Amino acid sequence: MPRSLPTRSHVLAFGSLCALALTAVAAPTFAASDPVAARVAGFKALGGAFKKLNDTLKSGAPDKAVMAVAAKDIGIARKGIYSWFPAGSGPKPGVKTAAKPEIWTKPADFKAAQDGFAKQADALQKAVAGGNADMIAAEAKKLGGTCKTCHESFRVPKE
C-alpha cells in the first residue's frame, strides 16, 4: 500500500511536539550548578508550553496532540516550581534575578501561590484529557490568572 506524504499540518504538529519536548527538559540541566538558571529555564519551558496551548486554542482548529504535550509540560513545571527557589537563590549582589525577596521572607504566601498554580495546572490537565476546547480555554485562562497573581506579588516588574 503506498504511503502518502505528510501534510503541512502534520509537519507543523510534529515540529511543535519536538519543540515542546526539548523545552521540557531544559530546566533540570542547570539545577545542580545554578538554581537561577534552572529557574529561568523552567519558566521559559512553562511559558513556551502555555504559548503553544493558547496558540492552538486560538487557531480555530485546536490540535489535540499539541494540547496534550503542552499540558504534560505544564504538569512538569507544576512539579518543578517547588524546587526552583532554593534558599540563597534570591536577590543579592552578583545574582541577576527577577525574584523578589518576599519569596523567602513570606514563604507561606509564596507556597500558597505555588499551590494555586499547581491546583490549576491539574485542572487544566483534566480539561485537556476531556478534549473540550471551550473547557480547556477556560482552564487555561484561570491558569494564566494564577501566574499573574504570583508575578504581581513575587516578581520584579519588567521595565
Coil, strand, or helix at residue 102?
helix
pTM: 0.78
Bridge partners, residue 41, by sequence: none
Report pLDDT for 7.
Answer: 54
Q: Is 26's pLDDT higher than 50?
A: no
Give the lowest-confidence range in 17-26, 82-91, 108-117: 17-26
Calpha distance 66→17 (Å, rounded): 6
Which amino acid is it at 14?
F
Grid cell for residue 60? 480555530
| pLDDT tens digits, one per residue of 46-104 | 999 999 999 999 999 999 999 999 999 999 999 999 999 999 898 888 778 899 999 99
Q: What is the DSSP letter of 29?
A: G
Report pLDDT for 149.
Answer: 94
Which amino acid is it at 12?
L
Contact 112, 52 (CB under 8 A): no
**14 contacts: CB under 8 Å, gap ≥ 6:** 6
Which domains can be identified in the chain, with CATH numbers? 8-154 (1.20.120.10)
Coil, strand, or helix at residue 37?
helix
Bridge partners, residue 99, by sequence: 155
